Amino acid sequence: MQKPVYFDYAAATPTDKRVIEAMVACLNEDGCFANPHAKDHVYGWQAAEVVERARSQIADLIGVSPLEIFFTSGATESNNLAIFGLAKGLRKKGDKRKHLVTSMIEHKAILEACELLLDDGYEVTFLKPDSTGQISADKVAKAIRPDTFLVSIAEANSVLGTISNIHDIARECHKRQVYFHSDVAQSVGYLTMDYAHSDIDMVSLTSEKVCGPKGVGALYVKRDSHIPLLAQIYGGGQEKGLRGGTVPTHQVAGMGEAFAILKSEGFKDKERFFALRKRLIDGIKHLKGLVINGSKTDFLPQILSVSFENIDGHKLLPTLSRIATSTGSACSSASLEPSYILKAIGHSDTLARASLRLSFGRFTKNEDIEICIEELNTKIPTLYN
149 shares a domain with 111: yes
- State the pLDDT at residue 336: 67
CATH code (residue 343): 3.90.1150.10
Residues 121 and 54 in one domain: yes
Average pLDDT over residues 312-340: 79
pLDDT at 328: 67
- How many domains are contained in the chain? 2
- Place 34 in a pLDDT band, splitting at 50, 70 and 90: confident
Quick one: pLDDT band at residue 331, thresholds 50, 70, 90? very low
CATH of the domain at 235: 3.40.640.10
What does pTM read for this prediction? Answer: 0.95
Q: How much is the CA Rg of the chain, to the nearest whole Å?
A: 21
Domain range spanning residue 50?
17-261
> Can you give the pLDDT at residue 327?
84
Write a three-state SS string for the chain: CCCCEECECCCCCCCCHHHHHHHHCCCCCCCCCCCCCCCCCHHHHHHHHHHHHHHHHHHHHHCCCHHHEEEECCHHHHHHHHHHHHHHHHHHHCCCCCEEEEECCCCHHHHHHHHHHHHCCCEEEEECCCCCCCCCHHHHHHHCCCCEEEEECCCECCCCCEECCHHHHHHHHHHCCCEEEEECCCCCCCCCCCHHHCCCCEEEEECCCCCCCCCCEEEEECHHHCCCCCCCCCCCCCHHHCCCCCCCHHHHHHHHHHHHHHHHHHHHHHHHHHHHHHHHHHHHCCCCCEEECCCCCCECCCEEEEEECCCCHHHHHHHCCCEECECCCEECCCCEECCHHHHHCCCCHHHHHCEEEEECCCCCCHHHHHHHHHHHHHHHHHHHC
CA geometry: angle 144, 148, 151, nearest 5 deg: 75
Contact 68, 222 (CB under 8 A): yes
Percent of the chain with pLDDT strictly greater than 90: 91
pLDDT attached to residue 84: 98
Q: Does residue 330 surpass a pLDDT of 50?
A: no
pLDDT digits (tens, 9 = 90+) for 80-90: 999 999 999 99
The pLDDT of residue 39 is 86
| Distance between CA atoms of residues 256 and 253, nearest Å | 5
41 with 155, same domain: the answer is yes
Mean pLDDT for the stretch of residues 293-322: 96
Max CA distance (Å), the chain: 71
What amino acid positions are annotated as catalytic residues?
331
Question: Which of 135, 189, 195, 192 shows the shortest CA–CA distance to 162?
Answer: 135
Over residues 258-283, the mean pLDDT reads: 97
For residues 211 and 13, is the Cβ–Cβ distance under 8 A? Answer: yes
Parallel, antiparallel or unpaired: strands 303-308 and 323-324: unpaired
- Write out pLDDT tens, residues 214-231: 999 999 999 999 999 999
For residue 242, the model assigns a pLDDT of 94
102 and 80 within one domain: yes
Please identify, among 261, 285, 319, the residue that sits at the C-terminal boundary of a domain. 261
The full length of the chain comes to 385
At 114, the pLDDT band (50, 70, 90 cuts) reads: very high
Residues 350 and 213 in one domain: no
**Same structural domain for residues 294 and 230?**
no
Provide the residue type at 295 as one letter.
S
In this prediction, residue 385 carries a pLDDT of 67
pLDDT tens per residue across span 184-217: 999 999 998 999 999 999 999 999 999 999 999 9
CA distance 158 to 303: 8
Q: Are residues 178 and 55 in the same domain?
A: yes
| 234 & 280 share domain | no
| Residue 329 CA: distances (Å) to CA of 102, 326, 341, 343 | 20, 7, 9, 10
Question: What per-residue confidence (pLDDT) applies to 334?
Answer: 42
**Same structural domain for residues 157 and 32?**
yes
User: Long-range pairs for 31-34 at CB < 8 Å and ≥24 separation?
Assistant: 32/249, 32/253, 33/249, 33/250, 34/249
Final residue of a domain: which of 221, 239, 261? 261
Residues 34 and 59 in one domain: yes
Cα 210 from Cα 12, distance rounded (Å): 8
pLDDT over 60 at 344, yes or no: yes
Average pLDDT over the chain, rounded to an integer: 95
Whether 139 and 232 share a structural domain:
yes
